[in-house]
């Protein structure tokens, strides 16, 4: 039984007020709130375990290392990777994508090679490839979409040439909510012998992810978007690829032996983890993933799907409503504009009613250009949101609409 009201009690912040109104937090695509178990784990680790990991012989260091490495196993289980060697801790999806672009680029790309992305990518799956272009003259090819926000699969198939070396696409769009058919995208790419990287920042918190079932070659996500702490994320990569890729950063932890003449690198995944990791955050991330697993990702998905269905139905009834993203497979994100009200005005006035939404281009400027707009208001849902909160959003929009 999924009891959303009971679940909300795990998230103290949801009980607060803003502008003397109950907080309605609908900015979960940007970051999610944290359950008590996550925050408690951060406090407890700092108060009773804290020591630098991996390097110490003393008790605390070993205990901290055990917690950190147990978290890696929790991540492995959560996304069903084959081995903990395939789980690299990063600062978040952005760092994961930069690591990938740098390191995969060094190992596998040469001038003239092509990387396929989609028109709905977040900047963190565009700009790292462009940074690579300053070192290697690679070509970015873009999968287009239809007006509902669904990728055009025939056009995608037509983009492959003998120079295609990687496909890198979002699992779920942070603007449109489209759940892209990544399993099919991967199958098609593999048919051409091309590996695929998935930006899972917006899918991992909402739908079950199984990297082996998807057969993804790389998969990135952020801890803070899945009820975990900020400053921690993951890059999953198949061992075969990771073994052949050079380190992204140099420093402590990532080496086997260092001399001024020659340095040898550590085994996976440490080769990619230079310096002191945020080991307290990795423990918090593991607690967040365990929290989601205990609720059941299928149950979370079902709850959020119902919220999305309800919100779409209600919001469509608002006069002048324009919703961007009407894909058949849609996740808990609704981007919209109402009449000619500027998104910033709408967002600001909703805020005064206690409703937190995001406004702007959502780090997806090429997508905004494709939609022919500057920005949208975005409401994004999480496992703790309720239909009453959607009613509050709808009432808020109506109120603002009448003001204009
Ligand atoms: N990719 C997508 C689809 C996102 O929505 C986001 C964040 O909004 C990111 C990547 C970047 O995530 P982070 O800022 O946690 O690195």
Does the structure show a pLDDT above 90 at 97?
Answer: yes
Closest CA to 219 of 203, 207, 230, 240: 203
Integer Cα distance of 73 and 135 in angstroms? 36
201 DSSP 8-state letter: T
Looking at the CA of residue 170, tell me the nearest atom of ligand 1.
Answer: 3
Looking at the CA of residue 121, tell me the nearest atom of ligand 1.
Answer: 3
Q: What is the mean pLDDT of the chain?
A: 97
Does the structure show a pLDDT above 90 at 55?
Answer: no
Looking at the CA of residue 224, tell me the nearest atom of ligand 1.
Answer: 15
In angstroms, what is the C-alpha Rg of the chain?
A: 22
pLDDT in tens, 160-207: 999 999 999 999 999 999 999 999 999 999 999 999 999 999 999 999
Asked if 76 and 178 count as a contact pair (C-beta separation under 8 A), the reply is: no
33 DSSP 8-state letter: -
Q: Please name the helix (run of DSSP H) or strand (run of DSSP E) that holds residue 153, with its range, or none.
A: helix 153-158
> In degrees, to the nearest 5, what angle opens at C-alpha 268 toward C-alphas 262 and 274?
60
pLDDT band of residue 56 (cuts 50, 70, 90) is confident
Q: Using a 6 Å CB cutoff, which residues line ligand 1?
A: 92-94, 122, 124, 170, 174, 199, 201-202, 222
Q: Would you call 363 a catalytic residue per the annotation?
A: yes
Helices then strands, counting H and E runs in the chain, come out as 14, 17
Q: How far is the CA of 59 from the centre of ligand 1 (A)?
A: 37
Which member of 310, 363, 370, 401 is catalytic? 363
pLDDT in tens, 279-331: 999 999 999 999 999 999 999 999 999 999 999 999 999 999 999 999 999 99
Integer Cα distance of 67 and 368 in angstroms? 42
Q: What pTM does this model have? A: 0.98
pLDDT in tens, 227-253: 999 999 999 999 999 999 999 999 998
374 DSSP 8-state letter: S
Q: What distances in angstroms separate CA 11 from CA 4, 8, 226, 386, one per listed residue?
A: 11, 5, 13, 14
Q: What distances in angstroms separate CA 338 from CA 13, 109, 132, 311, 320, one per listed residue?
A: 29, 45, 39, 15, 5
Q: What is the spatial order of strands in the sheet that 196-199 belongs to?
A: 87-90, 233-237, 218-222, 196-199, 164-170, 114-118, 139-143
DSSP for 299-350, written as a single string: HHHHHHHHHHHHHHHHHHTSTTEEEE---SSB-SEEEEEETT--HHHHHHHH
pLDDT in tens, 251-260: 998 999 999 9
């Amino acid at each position: 039984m999924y009891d959303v009201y009971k679940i909300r009690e795990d998230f103290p912040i949801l009980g607060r007020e803003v502008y003397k109104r109950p907080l309605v937090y609908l900015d979960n695509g940007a970051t999610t709130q944290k359950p008590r178990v996550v925050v408690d784990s951060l406090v407890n680790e700092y108060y009773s375990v804290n020591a630098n990991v991996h390097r110490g012989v003393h008790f605390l260091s070993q205990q901290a290392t055990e917690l950190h490495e147990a978290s890696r196993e929790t991540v492995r289980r959560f996304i069903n990777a084959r081995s903990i060697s395939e789980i690299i801790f990063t600062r978040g999806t952005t760092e994961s994508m930069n690591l990938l672009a740098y390191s995969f680029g060094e190992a596998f790309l040469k001038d003239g090679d092509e990387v396929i992305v989609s028109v709905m990518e977040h900047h963190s799956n565009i700009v790292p490839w462009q940074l690579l272009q300053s070192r290697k003259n690679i070509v970015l090819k873009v999968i287009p979409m239809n007006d509902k926000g669904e990728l055009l699969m025939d056009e995608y198939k037509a983009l492959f040439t003998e120079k295609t070396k990687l496909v890198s696409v979002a699992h779920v769009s942070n603007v449109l909510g489209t759940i892209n058919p990544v399993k099919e995208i991967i199958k098609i790419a593999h048919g051409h012998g091309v590996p695929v990287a998935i930006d899972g920042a917006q899918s991992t918190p909402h739908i079950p992810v199984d990297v082996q079932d998807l057969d993804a070659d790389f998969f990135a996500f952020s801890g803070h978007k899945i009820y975990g702490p900020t400053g921690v994320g993951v890059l999953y990569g198949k061992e075969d690829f990771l073994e052949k890729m050079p380190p992204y950063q140099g420093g402590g932890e990532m080496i086997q032996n260092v001399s001024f003449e020659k340095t040898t690198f550590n085994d996976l995944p440490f080769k990619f983890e230079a310096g002191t990791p945020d080991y307290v955050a990795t423990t918090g991330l593991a607690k967040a993933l365990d929290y989601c697993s205990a609720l059941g990702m299928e149950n979370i998905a079902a709850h959020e799907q119902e919220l999305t269905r309800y919100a779409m139905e209600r919001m469509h009834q608002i006069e002048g409503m324009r919703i961007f993203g009407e894909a058949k497979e849609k996740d808990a994100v609704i981007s919209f504009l109402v009449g000619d009200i500027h998104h910033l005005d709408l967002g600001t006035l909703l805020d005064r009613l206690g409703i937190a939404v995001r406004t702007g281009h959502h780090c997806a400027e090429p997508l905004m250009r494709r939609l022919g707009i500057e920005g949208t208001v975005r409401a994004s849902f999480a496992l703790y949101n309720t239909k009453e909160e959607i009613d509050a959003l709808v009432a808020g929009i109506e109120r603002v609409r009448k003001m204009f």
